[in-house]
Structure 1
Amino acid sequence: MATPLTADQLLTALRAEGVTVVEHREWRTHNRNHVGAWGPVNGVMIHHTVSSGSAASVELCYDGYTDLPGPLCHGVIDKEGVVHLVGNGRANHAGGGDPDVLKAVIAENYGERPPATDEHQGSAGAVDGNTRFYGFECVNLGNGTDPWPDAQLDAIERASAAICRAHAWGAKSVIGHLEWSDHKSDPRGFTMPDLRGRIAARLAAAPTGAPAANPSQTPGSTSPDAPRLQPFPGGDFFTASTSSPVITAMGRRLVAEGCSAYGTGPGPRWTEADRRSYAKWQRKLGFRGSDADGVPGRASWNALKVPYVR
């Protein structure tokens, strides 16, 4: 179980994973928290909209309709691969579902698919998925023939992986609506085991910070139009015994971002000044409390874009 990401934390995670994000209207305060709990969260749920057109689909998911007020998800993923954020908090996307599926998602102990579901909204044994899952609605008619462009599938993969990274979840924390409720068929047109395989492969590597079609920020790239970035070295790297040019490069980026707590400038050894400077960066990104303790984490590190050093 995990505390839901704040709006700033969600933005940071998505952008660090290379997701193109559009903030729609008042999404940061748009939610259904007044009717039920939001969190603890356990996973990500994927849907299709049964609609066409980005603008109309985004408005539908933001506003909802008479019988189901919006937001109907947290983000709408269009066919161009853009994620339109429409809600932050409880959203009307999952409804009731199977408690055995929830247990399997929490444990991440199922095989290719979660256990078969026999519960749904209104059934006696259903549990509230709106409390437990982030939701992404993907623009598609849901008829099995409407295409899923590569850019859209890439964005679904990246957005799902971004949230999983932020919460230290694996790919099995991502399910389709059809795997949650026996009354649902979405998403239709690709398989969730295939998507989870793609997410698992992405989580096994450092995020590139750029869409797959643009390798300019992939470690090892020699593209002239963007710098090679330093992969996240892990939280255990940042101790008083560490002396590395990576620390210096990080410090210079913190100074450039206006987050300096240095007296004489950054150096190669990890110090208290580095920790305090990095805590300023975390707070700038919207992290608070123990999440802004000055010890780099993957999402904040990727957002800092530290140049690669040998």
Structure 2
Amino acid sequence: MRPLSEHQKSWKTNNRNPKGSFDPLDGVIVHHTGPYTTDAGMVSYCVTSSSALPGPLCHGVIGRDGKVYLVGYGRANHAGDGDNDVLNADIAESYATNPPATKKGEGDPGAADGNSHFYGFECINSGSGKEPWPEKQLDAITRACTALCRAHGWTAKSVIGHLEWNDQKSDPKGFTMASIRARVAERLKHQANWTPTPPPPAPSTPSLEARVATLE
């Protein structure tokens, strides 16, 4: 993981703790950023954002090349309100493939404050559903979420998407959270430095000339 550059706030002191608790910690929420220009621009935005949506907006930004930029360490303005049923299923790690369908969103009566319960990673992608997710980025998302699960003794079921937390959200779009949870679950079976063995290369198709030569 990479810290912020020297001209930006240190991630070690960048939080919104005066606005509320960051406890108890119960899981990780994965987001996509939406439209972006550069990694540096998105990281800078997530550090402070704007007066309408004060930062930090996450704990880390995950670039398309797999770099993880640390943004904050305490309460961050990323999750917003969400469903208590989802929170309870996340805490109990009691669901099958996906947590219960969320029925709560921002400002709904009885909604839970996700900023006090979840780490958040903003993953750089337009969110169009058409922009591919590079394997390096998916691997970095998996590794970052796995590291937090190891630190807290959680299973992969403590990793959810923003769309699974808040019924007004659609992120992340372009992959399923079930697929990320499966990746995290597999990594948790191994030591932290484990690297999966790459599959053998697919056999090449002989050229037409080679196939003709075998018939002569």
TM-score (norm 1): 0.61
Q: CA deviation at 1:90?
A: 0.2
Q: CA deviation at 1:149?
A: 0.4
Q: 2:57 aligns with which of 63, 66, 72?
A: 72
RMSD: 1.4
Q: CA deviation at 1:212?
A: 5.9
| 1:39 matches 2:23 | yes
Q: Which amino acid aligns with 1:35?
A: K
Q: 1:132 aligns with which of 117, 120, 124?
A: 117
Q: Deviations over 1:35-77 (max 9, x none)?
A: 1101110000000000332111101111112211000000000
Distance 2:65 2:81 in 1: 31
Q: Which amino acid aligns with 2:176?
A: T
Q: CA deviation at 1:27?
A: 0.9
Q: Which amino acid aligns with 2:132?
A: P
Q: Which amino acid aligns with 2:105?
A: H
Which runs of structure 2 are paired with 1:65-214 in the superposition (5 Å)?
65-208=50-193
Q: Deviations over 1:89-124 (max 9, x none)?
A: 000000000000000000001011100111011000
Contact map agreement 1:51 1:57 (CA 8 A) in 2: no
SS in 1 for 2:2: strand
SS in 1 for 2:142: helix
SS in 2 for 1:144: coil
SS in 2 for 1:188: coil
- Where does residue 302 of structure 1 map in the other structure? none
Q: CA deviation at 1:213?
A: 8.9
- Where does residue 49 of structure 1 map in the other structure? 33
Q: Which runs of 5+ in 2 are unaligned?
A: 199-216
Which structure dedicates a bigger proportion of its chain to helix? Answer: 1
Contact map agreement 1:154 1:212 (CA 8 A) in 2: no
Q: Which amino acid aligns with 1:47?
A: H
The count of residues paired between Structure 1 and Structure 2 equals 193
- Where does residue 269 of structure 1 map in the other structure? none
Distance 2:106 2:51 in 1: 18
Contact map agreement 1:76 1:85 (CA 8 A) in 2: yes
* Bigger relative contact order (CA 8 A; separation at least 6): 2
Q: Deviations over 1:262-297 (max 9, x none)?
A: xxxxxxxxxxxxxxxxxxxxxxxxxxxxxxxxxxxx
Moved >3 Å (runs of 4+) = 211-214
Q: Which amino acid aligns with 2:99?
A: P
Which runs of structure 2 are paired with 1:245-264 in the superposition (5 Å)?
none
Q: Which amino acid aligns with 1:28?
A: K
Among the aligned pairs, what percent are the same residue? 55
- Where does residue 208 of structure 2 map in the other structure? none
SS in 2 for 1:154: helix
